[in-house]
A = this chain, B = another copy of it.
Amino acid sequence: MASIVEAAAQILEKGGLAAFTTNAVAERAGVSIGTLYQYFTDKNALLIALARGEMEAALGEVGRALQGDGDSSVDGRVRAMVRAIIHAFRGRQRARKAVVQALLAQGNGIELMAPVAAFVARAAETVGRGPNPLIGPLTREQAFVVSRSLMGVVRAAVLEEQPFLASRAFEEEIVRMIVAYLGAVSAATGRQP
Identify the A interface with B (CB < 8 A): 16-18, 97-98, 101, 104-107, 109-110, 113-114, 117, 139-142, 144-145, 148-153, 155-157, 159-162, 164, 167, 169-170, 172-174, 176-177, 179-181, 183-185, 188
Instruction: Decide: B176 and A177 in contact? CB cutoff 8 A.
Output: no
What is the CA–CA distance of A156 and B152 in the complex, to the nearest angstrom? 8
New A-B contacts (12) at CB < 8 Å, excluding given A145-B174, A152-B156, A176-B184 = A104-B159, A141-B173, A142-B173, A144-B156, A149-B177, A152-B153, A176-B181, A176-B185, A177-B181, A180-B183, A180-B184, A181-B181
Which chain B residues border A16 with CB–CB below 8 Å?
Answer: 105-107
What is the CA–CA distance of A179 and B188 in the complex, to the nearest angstrom? 13
Instruction: Decide: B110 and A159 in contact? CB cutoff 8 A.
Output: yes
What is the CA–CA distance of A18 and B17 in the complex, to the nearest angstrom? 13
When all copies of this chain in the complex are counted, the total is 4
A interface, by DSSP: helix, strand, loop or mixed?
A: helix
**Most chain B CB atoms below 10 A, which of A140, A161, A179:** A140
Q: Chain B: which residue is nearest A161 at the CB level?
A: B110
Which chain B residues border A150 with CB–CB below 8 Å?
Answer: 149
